[in-house]
Copies of this chain bind each other. A is one copy, B any other.
Amino acid sequence: MKISIKLSLSIILAFHCIFLGSFFSGNAQESPERPPNFIIIFADDLGYGDLSVFGNPTIHTPHLDQMAFEGQKWTNFYVGASVCTPSRAALLTGRLPVRSGMAGNKYRVLFPDSKNGLPGSEITLAEQLKKAGYATACIGKWHLGHKEQYLPTNNGFDYYFGIPYSNDMDRVADYPQGGYWNQQNEDIKTEHFNVPLMRGTEIIERPANQNTITKRYTEETISYIKENKNKPFFVYLAHNLPHIPLFASQEAMGKSKRGLYGDVVEEIDDGVGKILKALELKGLTENTIVVFTSDNGPWLPFKTNGGSAGLLKAGKGTTWEGGMREPTIFWGPGYIKPGLVPDLGSTMDLFTTFSKMAGVEIPKDRIMDGVDLSETLLYKNPSPRKSVLYYRGTDLYAARLGDYKAHFITQGAYGQFGERTEHATPLLFNLNHDAAEQFNIAEGNDAIIQQINTVVREHQTKLVRGKDQLAERE
């Protein structure tokens, strides 16, 4: 019985390999087959150590664990920045936010009174996939501009349902004393944050009822899948949680051993399970790829209301590993070859990889920062990504080349604040041997530092900085 299961899986894989060949020719028209559906599930401020399959002892995420076991668990997967707005810009454009202007040193993210957003000249992954006839939906947090021209429906998405920025914004005057820094759930109400909930470009609820927001994002995703099952689709499901303040539905509250933070993460995991179930019921399991990751590391100053980066150092806002390495899972039984992948990857690679799989050309008029991971996803071939650049705002703080990371500048340690230190000799860590960045091995390793410097110089020589879109507020 086992043999026949394996055989049928081999046939499916072989079939996909054959027809994927035509995708890689870069022309969707050549392929008579339907390209895969893509679902990106993007958590907010979830730490590297916050899923059970990434080592959390008391947050129980059985559906994500199952995805990791059936698919690929990536353990060296990065985001383009360690805070919301630039990280999201990086994922959707496949480019470092310093190029699009979606990174700034005056303000690091957009606010409800920010004037600007993602420039129209940027091409989003949704715009790419539209070229191949995909139905496209953004469900959840946007944070790339709340004014009409910047909203998802003007950036390649057919459909939008969500809160256009962070869930801790638009704070109202009767905000409880002590604030969410020491959140006791009974003190914090969804009404203390007057954030809007939008459908398309219309505000449909204000303040958004955040208690039910995770559940509703899941439901909207499932509805969209059902309605669009007959064409290829792309859903970008960007949860507003577990960003502080924390909210969970009545059903989820008190279920986790990890307290409210765990309840919130487990409700997201529960939603993941429901989405996979919906795919199965609609016969879409074999031709859908689901990616799960987070926009940046955990927000550590919030103590147990924030997450954990596991063994990694520091968290959100920093260029230590805890800020920018995320718990990442690729799942898709029809495509993904299962296993642990300790190779380098980045959210910026999703643009390139999914464009290629859908048979859409990569833009040639601009520098792209993504690489095509499809050979790694399908065959477990080595990842073509060899380096990672760690920006804080518009400054390059660190760079990784292969096993090694050099910190040119460090700032803060366990929070995102703290003194900025420039290192005449960079701090050097072997991240594969010392993921926790504990043992500086710069001494005697000049050659490695030189190699990293060469990568950085090549990058900086070609870099054209976009105009800072975050600087202006009303």
Contact = CB atoms under 8 A, between A and B. Distances in A.
Contacts of A342: 57-58, 60, 257
Query: Which of A49, A73, A432, A438 has the most C-beta atoms of chain B within 10 angstroms of its own C-beta?
Result: A432
Interface in A1-29: 1, 4-5
A194 interface: no
Nearest to A74: B57
Contacts of A303: 434, 438-439
A310 interface: yes
Query: Which of A57, A62, A339, A342 has the most C-beta atoms of chain B within 10 angstroms of its own C-beta?
Result: A57
Interface string A334-362: 00000110100000000000000000000
Interface in A322-343: 339-340, 342
A435 B311 contact: no
A42 to B, nearest CB: 21
A310 B340 contact: no
B55 A257 contact: no
B58 A432 contact: yes
A342 B432 CA distance: 28
A311 B48 CA distance: 10
A433 interface: yes
Query: Which of A60, A62, A310 has the most C-beta atoms of chain B within 10 angstroms of its own C-beta?
Result: A310
A75 interface: yes
A90 to B, nearest CB: 21
A4 B1 CA distance: 9
Contacts of A75: 52, 56-58
Interface in A231-266: 257-259, 261
A339 B57 contact: no
Contact of A432 (B5, B258, B438): B258
Interface in A217-236: none
A103 B198 CA distance: 64
Interface string A137-163: 000000000000000000000000000
Interface of A: 1, 4-5, 49, 52-58, 60, 62, 65, 69, 73, 75-76, 257-259, 261, 303-304, 308, 310-311, 339-340, 342, 403, 430, 432-436, 438-439
Given A52-B340, A304-B430, A304-B433, 8 more contacts: A1-B5, A55-B56, A57-B76, A57-B435, A62-B339, A257-B342, A310-B310, A311-B311
Shortest 4 CB-CB distances between A and B: which pairs? A55-B55, A57-B75, A304-B433, A257-B432
21 contacts: A1-B4, A1-B5, A52-B75, A52-B340, A53-B53, A54-B55, A55-B56, A55-B310, A56-B75, A57-B342, A57-B435, A58-B75, A58-B76, A58-B432, A58-B433, A58-B435, A60-B340, A257-B432, A259-B433, A303-B438, A304-B439
